[in-house]
Structure 1
C-alpha cells in the first residue's frame, strides 16, 4: 500500500481495496494475497482527519433513527447497482463507508487467504480493515492503535470484528487506551499470529503465502464460509450499526471541536498520533464530556 506522503486511509485507497477483493475472487489462479505498507515504518493509518472535519462541518444534524434509515437506503441502492445515481445524491458521502463494509465482508469469505504483513504503524481505519484479514503477521517494530475514542469518534467497521478476535473486554480496553500497542503486545492479545524480525517479515510471509496458496481454493472458501456463517447476519447488521455510530459521532459538537483541534496541531498533514499524541492519549487535550453535552445526553 502506497498512499504518499503519509499512508493515510483515503476513499481512493478504500476503492482500490474493493477492486482488489473483486479481482481476487474472480481469478482462480490467486490462492493468497499479501498486503504490506510501502513506507518502511507505516502499514496503513487512519482516515485523513481533514476529510473527516470537512464532512463533519457539512453534515446536517440528524437522529440515529434517520441516519440508520438513510444508510440502509444507500446500501440498498448500491446493492441494486445504483451506485452512480447515489454518487450524485445527498447520500454520496456514505459511499466510502458502504464500500468498506462490502470489502470487509468480501475478504471474510474470499476463496483466497488474505494476509497482512504489518511492517509499521497500523492505525484507525487501516487497523479496522486489517481485522477482517485471515492472518496478521507483524514486524518487531510494528505497532497498532485505535485512536477513535480520543477524538470523539466511533469505529466505522472494525469494532465488532476486534471484539470477536480479542473478546469484548480486551477490544474495549484497546479502544479506551488509544495508545500504540507494540507487536509483542498485539501477539499476546491474539491480534497477530506471529512476530518476525523487521528484515525477515516480508520474506517469511511470502513463503507462508506461497505454501498456503497451494491449498485448494474450494476448500479454503468452504471453510471460511463456515467460520463466517456464525456471524454472517450479525456482521451485516453490526456493520450498519457501526456506520450509524460513526456518522452520529461525527455530527457531535464535541467531536467537531476535537477534529478542529487535531487539524490545528498537525505537523504538515501528518498524523498527530505520530507527532504529538500524549495529551490525546491522556484525554487532557480537550474536555470530551463537557457539562452542556452531558445535559443534552
Structure 2
C-alpha cells in the first residue's frame, strides 16, 4: 500500500503491518478505515496465518487517536471502519494470531490496539500510558481490557492518573510477554511469527474463538459450549483432515503437515 499511512508486506504466510504516520503514528478516521480493510483481508486470506503490527519512525509505536481529527469531528463522517477504531478491536471472526511489536511510546488508543493483539513483544525503550484522563476523555476499550490483563489496582491507577510505565515495570505487571533490546526486537518478533505461521491454523482459530466467546461465562457453561462443538471453529476442527493428520503424525513419530482443512 504505497502512499498510505499503513505499510503492508506479505511474506511466507506472515502479514507485516507498519504504522507510518509521522510524527506520533496517531490514527485518524481515514487511517482507521484503512486498517480495518487490511485486517479484514488478513482474516479472509487463507494464505496468511499470522500478522505483526509495528511502527515506522524513531519515537512512537502509536499515540492512539488523532486528537486533531477528534476536534474536527463535526466536519467528518466519524466512521472508524470495519472492526472499530484501528481495526482489530471489534473485527468479528479474527481467528488468526496477531503479534504487536512495541518499539517506542505506546499510549492511549495505541495501548488499546496493543491489547487487542494475542501476543505482545516490547523493546526495552517502550513506554506505556493512558493519558486520556488529561484531555477529559475515556479510554473506553482500556477500561474493559486492562483490568483483565494486569492487576485491577494497577490498571485503575493507570486509568485514573494517566501515569507512565517503563518497559521493565510493565513487564513486571504482565502487560506483555517478552522484553528485548531494541536491536533484537525485529528478529525476535519475526521468529515468533514464523513459529506460528508454520503451526496449526484450525487449532489457532478454535483457541481464539473459545477464549473470546467464553470470557464472561461460568466455567461449566463455557466447557459445555466448547466440548459440545457449539463454536463454529471448534466444530470445523473436530473431524478435520488436520486433526486426523495430527494423530497420524504422532503415531508415526513424524512432523505433521498442516493443510488448514
TM-aligned CA deviation for residue 163 of structure 1: 1.6
Q: 2:212 aligns with which of 205, 228, 239?
A: 228
- Unpaired runs of 5+ residues, structure 2, are 1-18, 218-261
Residue segments in structure 1 that go unaligned for 5+ positions in a row: 60-86, 234-297
Aligned to 2:40: 22
- The Cα RMSD (Å) is 2.3
CA distance in 2 between partners of 1:116 and 1:49 (Å): 23
How far did residue 232 of structure 1 move? 7.2
How many pairs does the alignment contain? 198
1:74-93 → structure 2 map (5 Å cutoff): 92-93=77-78
Q: Name the CA distance, whole Å, in 1 between partners of 2:20 and 2:89.
A: 20
1:188 lines up with 2:206 in the alignment: no
* Offset, 1:207: 0.7
Q: Report the CA distance between 1:193 and its aligned residue.
A: 0.4
Please give the alpha-carbon distance, in whole angstroms, between the structure 2 residues aligned to 1:14 and 1:231: 26
Q: 1:106 aligns with which of 72, 91, 97?
A: 91
Q: Does 1:176 align with 2:160?
A: yes
Asked if 1 retains the 8 angstrom alpha-carbon contact of 2:121 and 2:177, the reply is yes
* Structure with the higher fraction of residues in strand conformation: 2
Q: Map residues 195-274 of structure 1 onto 2, 5 A cutoff.
A: 195-231=179-215
CA distance in 2, matches of 1:41, 1:224: 32
CA-to-partner distance for each residue in 1:7-37, whole Å, 9 max, x for gaps? Answer: 1121122112211211111111211111111
After superposition, the Cα gap between the structure-2 partners of 1:217 and 1:232, relative to the gap in structure 1 and judged at 3 Å, is farther
Change in 2 beyond 3 A, CA 1:102/1:32: closer
Answer 1 or 2: which has greater helix percent: 1
Alignment of 1:31-180 (within 5 A): 31-55=49-73, 58=74, 92-93=77-78, 95-96=79-80, 99-100=84-85, 103-106=88-91, 109-180=93-164
1-structure distance, mates of 2:110, 2:132: 12
What is the alpha-carbon distance in structure 2 between the residues aligned to residue 144 and residue 18 of structure 1?
A: 24
- Superposition TM-score, scaled by structure 1 size: 0.62
Residue pair 2:32, 2:86 contacting (<8 A) in 1 also: no
Q: Return the TM-score normalized by structure 2.
A: 0.70
Report 1 or 2 for greater relative contact order, CA contacts < 8 Å, sequence distance ≥ 6: 1
